[in-house]
Structure 1
Amino acid sequence: MTIIKISVIIPVYNAKDYLHDCIKSLLNQTLGDCEFIFINDGSVDNSRQIIEDYQKEDQRIILINQENKGISEARNTGVNNATGQYIGFLDNDDYLKNDFLEYLYNTAIKDDLDILISKTILGRDDKFIIKENGFEKDLIFDKAFIQNKIIPNLLRVEDLFAVWNKIYKRSFINENQVRFPGNRVIEEDNIFNIQAFNKAQKVLFTNYAGYYYREVANSKSRLIIENDYFSKALEKYYLDYKKEYDLSISATELEKLKAIRLLQRVSYLVYKCSVSITPFKTKWNYIEQMVFHEKVYELAKKYYSEALADKGLYEKIILKIILNKSQMALFLLVLSIKIGYHPKISEIIRNINNFKISKT
């Protein structure tokens, strides 16, 4: 009897433009004993037909069709049907290096890891960059380290949000009933990871990068205003993670980390709204609502220094605008971003923003 080493779960929704690259990268994997579980989440294009055509050529492809329920429920369907020793996730517009699954599986199985995290190759501004995750590589971290360092990271920043650059031991996921939340449109990955890391005993970060993340301009996840990301960021701030997921972190530390995360999210959303193709009045109203929200001002005032730790000039400008309640400064910032945005300029801004500022 063949042992399935890795189950790869791929939620699919209207992905005809990218599915071929995604599927071919799976079929070309050097690790043979895999299953590729495609969850067709109510696609209305020919995504289903594309998968069925490849399925005729390779029996490792499993297709499950369901009515549209969203990415969380699609992934949960995949987890519930997986049989592999480890579970991995692949978005339908991304693709993998040929040895991605083999490298991750061999690394994970050698030390019986609960979770293995790789680096990511980001496709951005017509170039590829390696996304670092900030943790020391090729060391097995135990529960104490996970609780003291990794859980706070998940609550404070986005570095570990994604599930697609990781593999998880399936028995560990099922024993701890780790699943995606069905009631969230965004950051469902982070909720899954908070649950998983909170129960994990053995975690390792590898220096290997083999997951190609493709930034798609018209992706539903890029629709900032339509998805009302700010309201969801507030929802996340008010969520009692400690109670909900039985976290050991203190209430005081949790509140600080969530506050920092919300302030960073506002900075990010201001930039993404500014460069979007949304009519200026619409995005201005949304940006103004975020920046001058009462709770945002309260947290900026209370956690100013903490929010700026290891951050750059752009974040400092945003926080100054929040504290000074300066509509004119905000208007000029938004206008300058909108007018000046270009992929090359965006790269320059990222480099400038890497100059760290001192705490004030």
Structure 2
Amino acid sequence: MPRYKLSIVVLVYNTEEYLRECLDSLVYQSLNDIEIIIVNDSSPDDSHVIIEEYKNKYSNIKVINQVNSGGAVAGNNGLKVATGEYVTIMDSDDIVPMNAYEKMYTNAIETNADIVIGKPNIIVNGSQKEIIYKRERHVWEKERIITDLSDYPEIFYDGFYWNKIYKKDLIFRNDCFMPPGMLYADRPMVHKAFLFADKISIITDVVYLWRKREANTSNQSITQQKYDINNLKDRIESLNYQIDYFEEYSNDDLLTTFLKSNIDRLFFPIKGILNSIEFREYYLSELSKLFSRIKDIYNNDLGITKNIYVFLIINKKVKELIEFVQMDNKGPIIQDKDKFYWALPYFRDERIGIPDSFFEVKELFESAIKIEEIKITNSILNFTKLVIPDSFKIIKVYLQLQSRINIGDTINYEFVNNGSNNYSLNINLDELHKVNLYDIYLVFYQDKTEKKFRVSKNMLEQENLSMIRNNSLNLFYTEGNKLSLQVQNFNFQQVILNSDAILLKTDIDTGQNINFILKDRITKEKIKFKYLKDGDFILQWKNFLNTHCFYDLMFEFFGYEYRVKMNSVPNLRESKVKYRNTHIDIYNTKSGNISLKSYSKLSNIINRVKLVLKSKK
């Protein structure tokens, strides 16, 4: 009888910044009888201090300290000491929702599944986003029981180890461990486990939050180093490792489906061929060998651009491939008889010889979507002339606002069809939640299919967004040139100063999404207000106040800072209070913002004398 229901192996290397949040998400799981195995892969930061703290506090935590050997060895070592009926692995910069393992374990017991798979979301700067990779997303959108992989080969799009629990016996009986020394070792482990599982259950609940770090951070994850030659070699090695055991499994159709499911991933680092001859030669050699093994390779769902990549690689047109990768994927949709084509570079170019069928438009894609203008006027969000080529038989179009605060919070607005696939939309943003951050999507319905696209800069024909940037609304592009909307539609009721504290009274119904701060104008230190209840925030003088300082009243929202305007607070006037021997003035700056000044009685007398002397000159 296993001692624990579930053993969780946590891989730790250089994640001190995120480790507490990760471990807290585990120790507070709603599932009882879980074992937490922390494997420290000789992390050079202070992660070991945090690990020891949690080990001493919680009896169900076991720690392995190993010589630096990589994540694959760390994961395997953790699994080998696990005592749970089921096992799983997670990365120490990620988070598990509180009831995730209870949901997966309960489902495993009810269905007698060897593997239970749940849905992961991305977490960026504290906010959640859906993983919208087209293929992976479809795996998690519907509950399934799989007993024959041929019935649902699409499962191989999901190669993550951390959104699953596995019967420990399945892993050990079939040697489903990660290849030592391999960076992309998760897919070999997961896909081998799929092959040997008698039953796999998929649930639609969010069970894992995968942290995506900012692209400019020095502590980037492995997957963010995609143009590095060693990263590429590991990616190829991982795929070849999987091919070997698929061949042992002796199902040619399943192997072909598996290989096709991996073509898209092979194009993630394709721009690496532009800057390194070594990268280019290795990349093209390996992809040529892999593509030669795939039967009926062009019968896939890659889309137009990537099938052209395949054609150019197979036909060894290296110069043309480099040119095509460098080009903007832009061109008109043209009609020839009863067919439509995307007239990209090389379309009907006899020198290259790519058949017309490669350019034929069969389903809606992002570059075909054009928006004349997006603007906000008097809290009305307006989409003017959303145009889709006539070749796409669109039934309905919706604008979807998806909250990053609560990923399940989505609002849909139907576009008005003005004829000829020309659509428009007006939305009153005053109806939205007082404090929120939304990602903006377009959802198209064609017959029985749904296509979902994040609104991007490439769709817009206008040079600059016509937008309002104030304390209420902010329509902006993310680093990936995707469109998002910040809503800070709240009101101040009062700002109160007394001899103990400064109190802010607002109509915000929670303190979780917004921080009020006083920011020292010289040191840039931020002093955070404490949320009380019913929209009230307080900051006591004793916790921070120094004499001879200037503080600006601000609020933070998802990494952005905003000054608080004097005219946004009803009946607020410049005033003075005293805390012990320090005087505090609240005043209106030249820009109309609220600031505070602290000073002693003596310094006030000196300043007055200086003013008198200055006036007599």
TM-score (norm 2): 0.47
> What's the counterpart of residue 226 of structure 1?
228
Q: Select 2:249's aligned residue among 234, 247, 251.
A: 247
Distance 2:170 2:64 in 1: 24
Relative distance call for 1:3 and 1:139 in structure 2 (3 A) is: same
1:146 Cα deviation from its structure 2 partner: 2.2
* Partner in structure 2 of residue 212 of structure 1: 209
Per the alignment, residue 144 of structure 2 pairs with 139
Aligned-partner Cα distance in 2 for 1:344–1:223: 17
Task: Provide closer, same or farther for how the CA distance between residues 161 and 346 of structure 1 changes in structure 2, counting only shifts above 3 A.
Answer: farther
Return the match for 2:196 from 177, 195, 199.
199
Match of 2:172 in 1: 174
Q: Distance in 1 between matches of 2:71 and 2:131?
A: 25
Q: Using the alignment, how far apart are the partners of 1:221 and 1:240 within structure 2?
A: 19
Cα contact 2:4–2:83 (8 A) shared by 1: yes
- The secondary structure found in structure 1 opposite 2:248 is coil
Identity, in percent, stands at 25
State whether residues 119 and 140 of structure 2, in contact with CA within 8 Å, keep that contact through their aligned partners in structure 1.
no
Matches within 5 A, 1:348-359: none
Structure 1 residues 280-336: Cα deviation after superposition (integer angstroms, max 9, x where no partner):
x7x454664466x245357668969745622334424534654553133333359xx
- Tell me, yes or no, if structure 1 residue 97 matches structure 2 residue 92: no
C-alpha distance in 2 between matches for 1:62 and 1:299: 42
Q: Which residue of 1 aligns with 2:117?
A: 117
Against the structure 1 CA distance between its residues 288 and 331, is the aligned structure 2 distance closer, same or farther, given a 3 Å change threshold? farther
C-alpha spacing 1:243/1:309, structure 2 compared with 1 (3 Å): closer
Task: Give the gaps of 5 or more residues in structure 2.
Answer: 330-456, 459-476, 484-617
Higher helix proportion: 1
Give the conservation status (yes or no) of the 8 Å contact 2:38–2:63: yes
SS in 1 for 2:16: coil
After superposition, the Cα gap between the structure-2 partners of 1:304 and 1:141, relative to the gap in structure 1 and judged at 3 Å, is closer
* Alpha-carbon distance between aligned partners in 2 of 1:72 and 1:190, rounded to the nearest angstrom: 11
Paired AA for residue 17 in structure 2: D
SS of the counterpart of 2:92? coil
Instruction: Tell me by how many angstroms 1:60 deviates.
Output: 1.7
Aligned to 1:353: none
Deviations 1:62-83 (A, max 9, x none): 1110111111110111111111
- Name stretches of at least 5 consecutive residues in structure 1 with no aligned partner: 275-280, 335-339, 349-360
CA distance in 2, matches of 1:19, 1:333: 41
Q: Of residues 307, 310, 334 in structure 1, which corresponds to 2:301?
A: 310
Q: Does 1:330 align with 2:325?
A: yes
Provide the rounded CA distance (Å) in 2 between the counterparts of 1:113 and 1:81.
22
Please give the alpha-carbon distance, in whole angstroms, between the structure 2 residues aligned to 1:52 and 1:345: 39
| In structure 2, distance between residues paired with 1:262 and 1:100 | 28
Residue 228 of structure 1: SS of its match in structure 2? Answer: helix
Change (3 A) 1:198 1:328: closer
Deviation of 1:37 (Å): 0.5
Checking the alignment, whether the CA contact within 8 Å between 2:183 and 2:222 is kept in structure 1 is: no
After superposition, the Cα gap between the structure-2 partners of 1:234 and 1:333, relative to the gap in structure 1 and judged at 3 Å, is farther
Higher relative contact order (CA 8 A, sep 6+): 1
| 1:137 shift after superposition | 3.6
Instruction: Compute the displacement of 1:190 (Å).
Output: 1.2
Q: What SS does the corresponding residue of 1:56 show, helix, strand or coil? A: helix
| 1:53 counterpart residue number | 53
Q: Compared with structure 1, are the counterparts of its residues 113 and 298 closer, same or farther at alpha carbon in structure 2 (3 Å cutoff)? A: closer
Partner AA of 1:170 in structure 2: K
Asked if the contact 1:108/1:115 (under 8 Å) is kept, the reply is: yes
Match for 1:174: what amino acid? F
Higher strand share: 2
Change (3 A) 1:28 1:160: same
User: CA separation of 1:267/1:172 partners in 2, compared to 1, >3 Å: closer, same or farther?
Assistant: closer
